[in-house]
Amino acid sequence: MEQTATHSLEHRDDTASKLGMWLFIFTEILLFGGLFIVYSVYRYKYPVAFHLANQELDKTIGLINTVILLISSMTVAMSVSAIKEGKKKLTITLLGITLLLALIFLVNKYFEWGAKFHHGLYPGSGILHDLGHGDTLFFGLYFFMTGLHALHIIIGMTLLAVVLLKVKNERINSGDYVLLENGGLYWHLVDLIWIFLFPLFYLIH
């Protein structure tokens, strides 16, 4: 805007904006994809260890977290409908619920990881080393992938918080809501990744 003259670029292109976000989502898919390649190779190489290590994870927390994220995807999708209908308050409420659910997810993760550390299960620990190669790789992947995922939850929360503020001061409204849609898309991506992480770490044996 500073160096380019103001009159010509006012022409808003929401399709371009949305396409840009989808392309970014593709890069995130490939980013986590690299880790899924690593996971599939080591599951193949250490099937027994992965089977046993899987028992160490708490299925209940995993399930609760899955349900939480699915609900939050619904609430953020609903918020898009709400803004299109011009219902500012409802939009804000739905976004707020999404953020709250995200926070609960992170709190659950915090306790989950805490329990693991308490039992001496973390990359580089003596106990993990004694458990052997397969367990080392399982937990290495567990911490790295859920950790990277949690980082993306935080990024998603930040994005949605910014979006919420913009809804509040009506910079996002029923005539201009592509930012909300894009924030929602990013949030759904975070959900998509977890949809795969959950069975791979908590369920399959």
Partner 1 sequence: MSADQLSHRLPSYLEYQGKYKGLLGWILSTDHKRIGLLYFYSMITFFLAGVVMGLLMKLELIAPGQTIMTAQTYNGLFTIHGLTMIFLFVIPGLIAVYGNFMLPIMIGARDVAFPKINLLSWYLYLLGALIVLASQFMGDGPPDTGWTFYAPYSLQTHTNVLAAVTGAFILGFSSILTGLNFVVTIHQMRAPGMGFFRMPLFSWALYGTAWIQLLATPVVGITFLMVVAERVFHIGFFDPTLGGDPILYQHLFWIYSHPAVYIMILPAMGAITEIITTFSNRVVFGYKAIALSSLAIAFVGYFVWGHHMFTSGMSDTARWIFSLLTFLVAIPSAIKVFNWTATLYKGSIDLQPPFWWALGFIFVFMIGGFSGLVLGAVATDVHVQDTAFVVAHFHYIVFGGTGFAFFGALHFWYPKMFGKVYNRRIANIGLLIFFIGFNWLYFPMFILGMMGMPRRYFDYLPEFHSWNVVSTIGSWILATGLIIIITNLLRGKKGTPLEIDNPWNGRTLEWQIQSPPPLENFEHIPTITKGPYERHNTEE
Partner 2 sequence: MSEEKEHIVSYKNNFLVLIALLCLTFLTVAITSVELGPWNVSAAMLIASLKVGIVLYYFMHLKFEHVILRIMVIMVVLVFTALIVITFFDYLYR
Q: Residues interacting with partner 1, by CB under 8 A?
A: 1-5, 8-9, 13, 15-16, 19-20, 23-24, 26-28, 30-35, 37-38, 41-42, 45-46, 123-124, 129, 132-134, 136-137, 140-141, 143-144, 148
Q: Using CB distances below 5 to 8 A depending on partner kind, what does residue 127 bind out of partner 1, partner 2, none?
A: none
Q: Using CB distances below 5 to 8 A depending on partner kind, what does residue 12 bind out of partner 1, partner 2, none?
A: partner 2
Neighbouring CB atoms inside 10 A of 11's CB total 6
Residue found by looking up tokens 């409908």 in the block? 81
Helix (H, G, I), strand (E, B) or coil at 170: coil
Separation of alpha carbons 186 and 156, rounded Å: 6
Q: Using CB distances below 5 to 8 A depending on partner kind, what does residue 130 bind out of partner 1, partner 2, none?
A: none
Residue pair 197/145 in contact by the 8 Å Cβ criterion:
yes
Q: What angle do CA 134, 135, 139 make, to 5 degrees?
A: 120
Q: Using CB distances below 5 to 8 A depending on partner kind, what does residue 85 bind out of partner 2, partner 1, none?
A: partner 2
Q: From residue 152 to residue 181, what is the string marking binding to partner 2 with x (rule CB under 8 A)?
A: -----------------------xx-x--x
